[in-house]
Amino acid sequence: MKTFNVPEFYRSPLISKVKQFRKTQDPRKKDNSPTVLDFGAVKYYVARHFGFCYGVENAIEIAFKALEENPNKQLFLLSEMIHNPEVNKDLTERGVRFLQDTHGRELISFDVLTPDDIVMIPAFGAPLQLLELLEKRGIKTEAYNTTCPFVERVWKKSEQIGKTKHTIIIHGKYTHEETRSTFSRSAEDSEAVIVVRDLEETKKLADYILGKKTQQEFEQEFPGKFSLGFNINGHFNKIGVINQTTMLATETQEIAEFLKAVMIKKFGEEKIAEHFADTRDTLCYATNENQDATYGLLETDADLAIVIGGYNSSNTSHLVELCERKFPTYFISSEKEIENQNTIHHFDYKNKKHLTTQNFLPKKDVVKIIITSGASCPDSLLDTIIHRINSFFENLLPEEQVLNELKVN
């Protein structure tokens, strides 16, 4: 796989050696067991896969290339390039400005843009309407388009099944930048599009597919989530499921399997190929690997889990969701959230609020900690968090010795 020119300050002396150890020990990526960093009084179980993915490294390389090649021009990002505050802060400190927030609300008017300005497209892509606005202002976005190739793969699948008149069902968060971008293309490529957030919402959709509810009820139950002119009587004859690439892969598969069963109920097993498109190849490899590695963490007998990433990061929130099934889990953005050995500030992603927990580190001879991070989180943040926690313990083994004794749990 291609390697990218990512700034060295995002790399990590400690974590890079962990990743290299696993690459050598498990080159085929068959083992999802965590790597053990055993410092004596504190032991870390590091996920098999975590941190920057292909799409994020690609985006960072392009963004820093834009800064290097355009020292005397105004540089803008359509919105946050990725959902990580440290990376976005690095870019803004170098002069990059955001035109919109993550919900598409205007921060800087498009009216100030000139053809000489540079506008970068974030890794999530951009809705076609916004690209058309930029084009009308004479701004070319091709050179610094950081859209993830795996997001583009979803768009191609959408286009493919749209041509065969399948209605596109997107598993995603309908306010998320990636889903908004995918929705705009799907609406152009197909006759009808709708977004479902989860399996529960999909089950509600089944009533309309099977003709149990009315068009009026549909419009009231799914406001703002379907394309113009959506007709439940005509647009549920052929369907295909694609996803926001950062959603839980298992849930996307669950949704697809559920909807396939609904279509079998409606049209019969022998005709299912005519009415349901196979779209399994839209799942992102990095999302799959990070989630599979988190399932590997659940096999560990640990005291707590720490998950690092941006609080608006979809893929990170799903890792938190998985860890919470077994461990007290703390979702933090950096080492600054760890106030001292007793106090940690963390984020409740379900209720979108910040929490403070006391005595988060148990009083034990050996404290065992799960640690992982989202796909937009620099490895350097894991280093600083491990060093921060280590500072609360005495008589730890030297880091060099720990790295020489790496093992798989």
Could you list the active site residues?
A: 178
Angle at 358 between CA 353 and CA 362, to 5 degrees: 125
HSE toward the beta carbon, residue 4, CA cutoff 13 A = 19
How far CA 204 is from CA of 38, 256, 315, 404, in Å, comes to 48, 14, 25, 54
Residue 391 token pair = 């500072």
Torsion of CA 190, 194, 195, 196, to 10 degrees: -130
Helices (H), 164-248: 177-189, 199-209, 215-221
Q: In this structure, which long-range contacts are made by residues 11-17, counting pairs with CB atoms below 8 Å and at least 24 apart in sequence?
A: 11/378, 11/379, 11/380, 12/378, 12/379, 12/380, 12/382, 12/383, 13/383, 14/382, 14/383, 14/386, 14/399, 14/403, 15/46, 15/51, 15/379, 15/380, 15/382, 15/383, 16/379, 17/403, 17/406
3-state SS assignment for residue 144: coil
Residue 347 token pair = 């984020």
Q: Comparing C-alpha atoms, which of 79, 120, 132, 127 is closest to residue 103?
A: 79
Torsion of CA 225, 221, 249, 177, to 10 degrees: 30
**C-alpha span between 86 and 53 (Å, rounded):** 16
* Percentages (nearest 5) of helix, strand, coil residues in the chain: 40, 15, 40
**C-alpha span between 14 and 120 (Å, rounded):** 32
**C-alpha span between 133 and 114 (Å, rounded):** 12
Evaluate whether 205 touches 194 at the Cβ level (below 8 Å): yes
Evaluate whether 228 touches 194 at the Cβ level (below 8 Å): no
